[in-house]
Amino acid sequence: MSDVRVIRVFIASPSDLAVERRAFKEAIDELNVGFGDGAGVRFEALTWEQTLAIMTRRSQGLINQELDRCDVFVLALYGRWGQAAAHGQRA
């Protein structure tokens, strides 16, 4: 199919949900094979790990740029959220 619509999905969660985040990405990959092929869409899963893979430090600005380019944002929370900021306050 020549006109495939790409739908970018950003998956965000704190580190305590890394397994679930990976499972969600795998589910999106499976969705592409079944539903996506027939509907002419391809879902592209993005995570903060991929965004920061090229960085040597955490950059919220880079993550925000990726979020602005996405069509769907998925946020999963469980036991924690954020990390300590440089000045000692919670982010």
pLDDT tens for 22-80 read 899 899 999 998 888 889 999 998 876 665 555 555 566 777 777 888 999 988 888 76
**CA-closest candidate to residue 58, choices 66, 68, 48:** 48
- Asked whether residue 49 is domain-assigned, the answer is yes
84 inside domain: no
Strands 41-47 and 72-75: unpaired
Cα 12 to Cα 18: distance, rounded to the nearest angstrom: 10
Tell me which residue range forms the domain holding 64: 5-75
Task: Give the model confidence (pLDDT) of 54-66 as tens digits.
Answer: 555 556 677 777 7
Tell me, yes or no, whether 87 lies in a domain. no
Count of structural domains, the chain: 1
Residue 15 lies in a domain: yes
Q: What is the pTM of this model?
A: 0.69
